[in-house]
Amino acid sequence: MLSFLLFAGALHVDLDRLKANWLSVTLLSTVGVLISTALVGLLAWGVVILLALPIAPIWCFVFGALISPTDPVSVLGVLKEENVPQSLQATVAGESLFNDGVGIVVFTILLGAALTGANFSFAEGVRLFTLEAGGGIVIGLIIGWLGFKALRSMDEYALEVLITLAVVMGGYALCSQLHVSGPLAMAVAGLLIGNYGVTFAMSDITRDYVIKFWELVDEMLNSVLFLLIGLELIALVPGTPHLMLGLTAIVITLVARAVAVFASTHILPATRPDLPGTTGLLIWGGLRGGISVALALSLPAGPTRDLILAATFAAVLFSVLVQRATLGRVIDKVRAGMQAPDNPSAPTLH
C-alpha cells in the first residue's frame, strides 16, 4: 500500500522544478526527517516517563519515524488556490515525496531494532540506511526506465494503465527480494514515469486515463487507511493514557516539525528561503496523512501499538482538521506582511 501511495504522489511532481530546488528538498527530506525523528522520540520518551506508560524508549523513536513523513496532497491544493510560487510548491511536493521514502526506511530500521531487542548501533543504522535507500533508488531508476520503454512501445490506454500497475507491484516484489526500500524505489519510478513517460510515451487520452486512475487509487487508499485506523480506535476504547498521549503528540509533532524545518533551511546560506514567511508555511504546511497511518497500522499487536495508534490518529486528525483548514489564512497573513508599508521591498508571494 505504501508503494502505491508514493507512486501516485510522485506522478504529480515536476522534475524540472524539483531539480531547481534540489538542495532544499534533499536537506528537508534527509536531515529534516532525522531531526524530527530524534526530537519526537526524545520528547515522547519524556512524556512516557511523566505518564508512567509501559513503552520502551526505542518505541518512542519508532513513533518519531512514522509521524515525520508529510502528505502533500491537501496542502498542494491550497497552495495552488492561493497562487503560491511554483518554486515553493515544488519544494513542498519534493520534500514530501522523499521524506516519505526516507521516513519509511528509518522506520523499518528502528522497528527491526525494537522487535529484535538488539542494541541500536548508529554505525549499523547508517549501513542499513545506505543499503536500503541506495538500493531502492537504483531499482527505482531501472524499473522506471523499463516502464517508460514499455509505455513508449504501444498506444493503448488500457494496457498502459496496467503497465503502471505492473511497475508498482513487480517493482515492490523485486525490492522485497533484494531487501531494499520498495516505497523509495516506487517514488523514483513514479518520478520518471510522471515526467518522461507522461510527456514522451503517452497520447493525450492515455495521459488522462493514467493520471485519473492513480488519483483515484490515491484517494481510495487514503480513505481506506483512515477507515481502518478509525475502526481500530473504536475497538480499542481509548482511556486516559491514550487521550493524554494523543494530545501531547500534537504538540510534540509541531515542535519537532518547526525545529526540523528551521534547521534544514538555515543550515546553508544557499538553502535559506528567498520569500519571507516561507519557513512558517513549510512548518504549518507539513501535514501528516496516509503514510503515517499505514505505518502505525503495520505495527505488531500489543499495548504499545494501541498507544502509538492513538498518538498517530491525534496528530493526523489535527493536521487534517486544523492545519489544512487554516493554511489559507496563514498564507494571507504572510502575503499581507510582505505588502505592508514598512516592508515595501520584500518580494511578493505570487
Residue-wise pLDDT for 124-174, tens only, equals 778 888 888 899 999 999 999 999 999 998 888 889 999 999 999 999 999
Q: Where are the domains of the chain?
A: 2-338
Asked if the model's pLDDT at residue 27 lies above 60, the reply is yes
Q: How many CB atoms lie within 10 A of CB 53?
A: 18
Place 120 in a pLDDT band, splitting at 50, 70 and 90. Answer: low
Asked if the model's pLDDT at residue 277 lies above 90, the reply is no
Residue scoring higher pLDDT (339 or 39): 39
Please identify, in words, the CATH class of the domain defined by 2-338: mainly alpha
Q: What are phi and psi of 151, to 5 degrees?
A: -65, -35
Q: Given this model, what pLDDT does residue 289 score?
A: 83
Q: Provide the phi-psi class of 117: left if phi over 0, else alpha when psi is between -120 and 50, else beta.
A: left
Q: Given this model, what pLDDT does residue 149 score?
A: 92
Instruction: Indicate the Cα dihedral angle 34, 223, 18, 187, nearest 10°.
Output: 70
Q: Given this model, what pLDDT does residue 142 score?
A: 95
CA neighbor of 81 nearest in space, from 274, 332, 323, 315: 332
- Specify the range with the lowest mean pLDDT, choosing from 33-47, 76-90, 178-192, 241-255: 76-90
CA neighbor of 100 nearest in space, from 128, 135, 73, 70: 70
Rg over alpha carbons for the chain, rounded to the nearest Å, is 20
Q: Given this model, what pLDDT does residue 74 score?
A: 63
Residue 113 is inside which H or E element, if any? helix 86-116
Distance CA 303, CA 188 (A): 36
Contacts (Cβ under 8 Å, ≥6 apart) of 301: none
CA neighbor of 120 nearest in space, from 182, 214, 41: 41
Distance CA 22, CA 90 (A): 10
Place 243 in a pLDDT band, splitting at 50, 70 and 90. Answer: confident
Residue scoring higher pLDDT (269 or 214): 214
Residue-wise pLDDT for 287-336, tens only, equals 888 889 889 999 998 889 989 998 999 999 999 889 888 888 888 877 76
Specify the DSSP class assigned to residue 346. S
- Whole-angstrom CA distances from 176 to 172, 214, 221 are 6, 23, 21
Distance in angstroms between the alpha carbons of the first and the last residue of the chain: 36
Diameter over CA atoms, the chain: 62
Q: Given this model, what pLDDT does residue 260 score?
A: 93
Q: What are phi and psi of 302, to 5 degrees?
A: 155, 170
CA neighbor of 8 nearest in space, from 281, 213, 163: 213
- Whole-angstrom CA distances from 182 to 139, 161, 178, 192, 266 are 9, 20, 10, 15, 31
Asked if the model's pLDDT at residue 111 lies above 80, the reply is yes
Task: State whether residue 29 is helix, strand or coil.
Answer: helix
Asked if the model's pLDDT at residue 189 lies above 60, the reply is yes
Q: Given this model, what pLDDT does residue 281 score?
A: 85
Distance CA 19, CA 94 (A): 9
Q: Given this model, what pLDDT does residue 274 score?
A: 67
The mean predicted confidence, pLDDT, of the chain is: 85
Place 275 in a pLDDT band, splitting at 50, 70 and 90. Answer: low
Distance between alpha carbon 61 and the CA centroid of its chain, in Å?
Answer: 17
CA neighbor of 100 nearest in space, from 190, 178, 176: 190
Asked if the model's pLDDT at residue 340 lies above 60, the reply is no
Asked if the model's pLDDT at residue 269 lies above 70, the reply is yes
Output b/e per residue, 36-52; b: 16+ Cβ within 10 A: bbbbbbebbbebbeeee
Q: Where would I find the beta strands (DSSP E) of the chain?
A: none
